[in-house]
Amino acid sequence: MTSAAIAARHAIRNKQHRGPTAGLAPGFVQGNLAVLPAAQAADFMRFCHLNPKPCPVIGVGEPGSGRIPALGADLDIRTDISEFCVWKDGELVGVVDDLSQVWRDDLVAFVIGCSFSFEEALIEAGIRMRHIERRRNVAMYRTNIATAPAGPFGGPMVVSMRPLKPADAIRAIQITSRFPNVHGAPVHFGDPAAIGIADVTKPDFGDFVGIEPGEVPVFWACGVTPQSAVRAARPSLSITHKPGSMLVTDLRNAQLASF
Amino acid sequence: MTSAAIAARHAIRNKQHRGPTAGLAPGFVQGNLAVLPAAQAADFMRFCHLNPKPCPVIGVGEPGSGRIPALGADLDIRTDISEFCVWKDGELVGVVDDLSQVWRDDLVAFVIGCSFSFEEALIEAGIRMRHIERRRNVAMYRTNIATAPAGPFGGPMVVSMRPLKPADAIRAIQITSRFPNVHGAPVHFGDPAAIGIADVTKPDFGDFVGIEPGEVPVFWACGVTPQSAVRAARPSLSITHKPGSMLVTDLRNAQLASF
């Protein structure tokens, strides 16, 4: 029997599914994509190793290959994501629905964990995610927390913010601590200025969904960090997924839990 | 070879050690004592079961016995604590250094976990405990969080407060989550008024050691909760340890860690 993850990848590969993958193949891990020339790949790998909270690598392909067998036997990132952003020298030059015209023998694919996995665990625990209920993107902010640089890759950590009551925040810290491969525990809660966020109502990416009385903002390291590090490094060519249109893998969210 | 825990108990039993036990037998679990007549013991046991965060039972004696073999083969609570408070009908009637004159055949001893165990783990993780550095008692507060009542036992949860920077608070939540038998994760952080604390600078018990800029108060369920529930229930006789003069057990703090 075909799993929901394989069915989702096939639908994407056959152009039957287009656009965002939120809600597709519940229970399966979805990942962020970053593709770089082999010349930059070692530095980027080291950058991810040095910054595991924003850049948790869950899969790496061999140079020139779109396959990552550890994430799915038939998986090929070149066909299994519905929208790709293609960057040259740090500038967006196109959005394409497969990579056949763009692929090169020296490209290396990185798949990085995504907060979808821990949000599923939080919702199962009864913790409400307001941005999901309102069908908005999570609010994301550039911070004054520096990543550890590696070669051309560096820059500030980007965080996502979810407003929670303290008791839910404590439970969310416990739950997300179990998921080091998808950003793990928060990096901060409370005063946004303490991590360099001047106005929490104005995110750099995504949508602000309010902070109600009795709630505190809770900040997690975010997978936009490596994307923004790649862009700032201005490699001759790089490829990312279009935000929201993720890679659906055969890993289950529950498999990522560390205890 | 005699362990540090057994040596500490013998020193207390032989009246060589008197007073507070903080710092005695590092690495070994120290416990709070509550002794009640058998007529109230079942209700108290149920009260603890219903309120495991403030009332984590780590040992119970048989009616009439001061021994709790699970906490130490030779341990006898009647001789192995240096200062006891004796209460009649909810009023303190005396402080004694052993229970030989007070003991009755119907008394049941309860030993309840204490935050000393998790504070040791926090300090080992590099998280500073200001009240310990300043040799003060931790600040404790009555809250508006109701315990689940059982028979005559009930009343508000008492919490202890430690001021921490958010990143340390997140780490402290992770670490104390591993210790459900010594109060576990915090119950609240941030706004004291949200749990009914009118003035955080004026604790109901213990000492306020300040909240510095960038710190938030973090609140844990506290073992004073069962003591205050016992006092309010006004049993004909009850016995507690004098705060700070704890029962040193043969359990190691590391044994209490759940993962």
Is B53 within 8 Å of chain A by CB?
no
Instruction: Map residue B96 onto helix, strand or coil.
Output: strand
CA dihedral for B245, B250, B256, B257, sign (positive or negative): positive
pLDDT digits (tens, 9 = 90+) for B147-159: 999 999 999 999 9
How many helices (DSSP H) and strands (DSSP E) are in chain B? 7, 11
Instruction: Map residue B248 onto helix, strand or coil.
Output: strand
Contact call for residues B29 and B58 (beta carbons, < 8 A): yes
Contact call for residues A106 and A39 (beta carbons, < 8 A): yes
Length of chain B: 259
Q: What is residue B257's predicted lDDT score, i.e. its pLDDT?
A: 87
Q: What is residue A259's predicted lDDT score, i.e. its pLDDT?
A: 79
CA distance B118 to chain A (A): 16
Q: Which residues neighbour B257 within 8 Å (Cβ) at sequence distance 6 or greater?
A: B121, B178, B179
The H-assigned helical ranges of chain B are 4-13, 38-50, 116-124, 130-133, 166-177, 224-233, 253-256
CA distance B194 to chain A (A): 7
Residue of higher predicted confidence among B20 and A195: A195
The structure tokens listed for B34 are: 């509550």
Query: Does the pLDDT value for residue B64 go beyond 80?
Result: yes
Q: What is residue B214's predicted lDDT score, i.e. its pLDDT?
A: 97
CA distance B245 to chain A (A): 31
How many helices (DSSP H) and strands (DSSP E) are in chain A? 7, 11
Is A177 within 8 Å of chain B by CB?
yes
Q: What is residue A190's predicted lDDT score, i.e. its pLDDT?
A: 98
Q: What is residue A1's predicted lDDT score, i.e. its pLDDT?
A: 67
Residue of higher predicted confidence among B244 and B10: B10
Is B193 within 8 Å of chain A by CB?
no
Query: Does the pLDDT value for residue B142 go beyond 70?
Result: yes
What backbone torsions phi and psi does residue B117 show, to the nearest 5 degrees?
Answer: -65, -45
Q: Using CB atoms, pick whichever of B173, B190, B194 lies closest to residue A173.
A: B173
Q: In whole numbers, what is the pLDDT of chain B averaged over residues? A: 95
Say how far apart CA A120 and CA A111 lie, in whole Å. 19
Contacts 24+ apart (CB under 8 A), B241-244: B241/B32, B241/B33, B241/B81, B241/B83, B241/B84, B241/B85, B242/B82, B242/B83, B242/B84, B242/B85, B242/B95, B243/B137, B243/B205, B244/B19, B244/B20, B244/B21, B244/B22, B244/B137
pTM: 0.90
Is B214 within 8 Å of chain A by CB?
yes
Contact call for residues B63 and B38 (beta carbons, < 8 A): yes
Q: Are strands A28-37 and A107-113 parallel, antiparallel or unpaired?
A: antiparallel
Confidence of residue B1 (pLDDT cuts 50, 70, 90): low
Instruction: Map residue B247 onto helix, strand or coil.
Output: strand
Is B188 within 8 Å of chain A by CB?
yes
Helix axes A116-124, A166-177, angle to 10 degrees: 120
Contact state of A170 with B190 under an 8 Å Cβ cutoff: no
Instruction: Map residue A50 onto helix, strand or coil.
Output: helix
CA separation (Å) from B161 to A44, B4, B89, B113?
43, 29, 30, 17
**Residue A122: which H helix or E strand, with range?**
helix A116-124
Mutate to test the interface with B, among A53, A170, A259 (most CBs of B within 10 A): A170
Mutate to test the interface with B, among A189, A195, A258 (most CBs of B within 10 A): A189
- Mean pLDDT, consecutive 10-residue stretches, chain A (259 aa), reads 92 94 93 96 95 96 96 97 96 95 96 94 96 93 97 96 98 96 96 98 96 98 94 95 94 89
Q: Using CB atoms, pick whichever of B166, B173, B186 lies closest to residue A190.
A: B166
Q: Which residues pair with A214 in a beta bridge?
A: none
Q: Which residues pair with B88 in a beta bridge?
A: B91
Mutate to test the interface with B, among A53, A144, A173, A178 (most CBs of B within 10 A): A173
End-to-end Cα spacing for chain B: 29
pLDDT digits (tens, 9 = 90+) for B70-121: 999 999 999 999 999 999 999 999 999 999 999 999 999 999 999 999 999 9
CA dihedral for A229, A231, A235, A238, sign (positive or negative): positive
Mutate to test the interface with A, among B189, B195, B211, B212 (most CBs of A within 10 A): B189
Confidence of residue B33 (pLDDT cuts 50, 70, 90): very high
Closest residue of A to B189, CA-based?
A166
The structure tokens listed for A74 are: 């038939």
Give the residue from A84, A104, A98, A102 showing the smallest Cα distance to A39. A104
Contact state of A190 with B259 under an 8 Å Cβ cutoff: no
Contact state of A170 with B185 under an 8 Å Cβ cutoff: yes
What backbone torsions phi and psi does residue A119 show, to the nearest 5 degrees?
Answer: -65, -35
The structure tokens listed for A90 are: 């740090």
Contact residues on chain A for B186, CB-CB shorter than 8 A: 170
Instruction: Count Cβ–Cβ pairs < 8 Å, chain A vs chain B.
Output: 47
Q: What is the Cβ-side half-sphere exposure of residue A152, based on CA atoms within 13 angstroms?
A: 16
